[in-house]
Chains A and B, each alone.
Chain A
């Protein structure tokens, strides 16, 4: 279990902002074995800073990061896989050599690194490009190499900053599949993303950050329940004034009236709708992550 507790980080100011910036104001969350954790928030909310602190690239002013109950050390982080926001690869190095090199830096033997590299190259569909210099690859393929670099040493934890940004739908699917596979193997995966539909589809838990604070965190289902479900009723050509007195909003499109509301006596509403006209749709709807996000950040 990866536990992040009360992280605070203040960046020193420059000439234009003498007070500096409070980047993290007590961020904390927990990721269990085999859990996929989505990290969402506006730009500058503190996602990258948090991830960089977990990876030891930055030092927090206070707070702690523990892995399996122990404070995270350099030796522990060496067994993590990391994909920073700004991609970094040796442009002139060949694909296979690069992946292997990082495997060896993480402590793999030459044989183990070679084998892991071969497997990853096959799995990520880079077989034909293994001997090419990274700079000759498309953005999508470079991203695959970057992922391979994060995965080559079979990490215990994966921390990925915006892994899906700039990828075409097929590459997104390939990357998502690779992450899900690791997750099933018991590896906690944390990734940040602005693609909320993707986060909603892939993640077990979500953390929403705003201005350096965790405004909502937990299982996607729990967050939905907190926001509450909504009832949606569509009536065709209803009698005017049929929904007077009901809480909710009506939108009219042609002769269809759609009423969206939360709370109220659903059976009573159904009766009124049927009396007013032809009911085309009656059902509860779960809030999307986008709605949860808007609600949380508001």
Chain B
């Protein structure tokens, strides 16, 4: 086994055995699983409680098949008013001619009552009306809400995972630099092996995390019945997420390792990492925006620009269909950016990691021969 694999393996075994990693994995898995059940528990279909006084029930169920309608009959108007004020019913139909409510009626319910009432009256006089046929000439939006929900979950997931692993890389680099263990390490491995091994090792852990969440999330979605609403092409979305995670992580982790190699104490890490966390935050907000406006100009442009594309593109892909050429272009640009950051980051790391003591200035490192 060469230095790179040995270093990566150490990172993985050290983390996997730590309680923090196991607990973190279980907690996130539970959260993702719970998220898949949440719509069923919280949202649910519209529910109407209606009453009648001296009237026949209107065929609301036929007009709104998704809604749940419950009827109850009252002996007189007084009893109906009491029930309305107590909140037991939403509306009461009196004598088939007026509707009593407590305050203004829910607008959907109002329209529903009016139209069914009309239909019933017309039907009674022998007029038959064919319902309007609805047809979309634009994008298929049947799955829009499921897609948006998925995109939001993905944004949060990718952000948490990338920032979590990237901070681990930074702290690991400073641990080795601060304790001078790096002096011994670098007499037996090359700087790029040490840097690469650390990035790969922690990346594998992040990947394990991501796969676990995807498996738990999709499994729970199937179990909760949420998966019925999933759009076609889910395998593509999932594969895209994995690829984009790898690219985004590689970019930010390399940047993070080279920034962290400038300082020697853990207390200085968050300070030196500020530009990177800012960049990640911006990416996060744009990705959030893209989840709700996946076809907007901002989302389209930013999903092509590295490193933002690493989070915005998978979110866009989940939220709406994206032409293949855009995905391809975005990926090529991101791979180029990762290659650039790797070349530069490895150089900074190699030059700075042995210079212990005061914080090393980035400019000095880049200027040095």
Contact = CB atoms under 8 A, between A and B. Distances in A.
A12 to B, nearest CB: 9
Interface in B30-78: none
Given A93-B14, A104-B6, A84 B183 contact: yes
B114 interface: no
A82 B184 contact: yes
Contacts of B7: 105
Contacts of B304: none
A104 B13 CA distance: 15
A57 B184 CA distance: 9
B187 A89 contact: no
Nearest to B13: A97
Contacts of A58: 354
B89 to A, nearest CB: 64
Contacts of A86: 179-180, 356
B181 A106 contact: no
Interface residues of A, number: 28
B179 A55 contact: no
B179 A105 contact: no
A92 B14 contact: yes
A93 B356 CA distance: 22
A110 B186 CA distance: 20
A45 to B, nearest CB: 19
Contacts of A92: 14
A107 B187 CA distance: 12
Interface string A27-55: 00000000000000000000000001001
A62 interface: no
A84 B185 CA distance: 11
A88 B10 contact: no
Contacts of B354: 57-58
B182 interface: yes
Contact of A57 (B14, B176, B186): B186
The DSSP consensus for interface residues of chain B is helix
Nearest to B10: A101
Contacts of A189: none
B14 A82 contact: no
B180 A84 contact: yes
Nearest to B185: A105
A90 B18 CA distance: 14
Contacts of B185: 105
A195 B346 CA distance: 41
Given A104-B6, A105-B6, A88 B188 contact: no
B183 A105 contact: no
B188 A102 contact: yes
A80 interface: yes
B127 interface: no
A282 B14 CA distance: 66
B350 to A, nearest CB: 12
A101 B201 CA distance: 15
Contacts of B176: 88
A57 B6 contact: no
Contacts of A56: 186-187
B133 interface: no
A9 B3 CA distance: 30
A105 B181 contact: no
Nearest to A85: B180
A77 B187 contact: yes
7 contacts: A87-B179, A88-B179, A88-B182, A88-B183, A102-B188, A105-B6, A150-B184
Interface of B: 1, 3, 6-7, 10, 14, 175-176, 179-190, 354, 356
Q: Report, nearest first, the 7 A-B pairs whose CB atoms are least far apart.
A: A88-B181, A88-B180, A105-B188, A86-B180, A88-B179, A84-B183, A106-B188
Given A56-B187, A87-B179, 7 more contacts: A52-B183, A78-B188, A88-B182, A90-B175, A90-B179, A106-B188, A150-B184
Interface of A: 52, 55-58, 74, 77-78, 80, 82, 84, 86-93, 101-102, 104-107, 110, 149-150
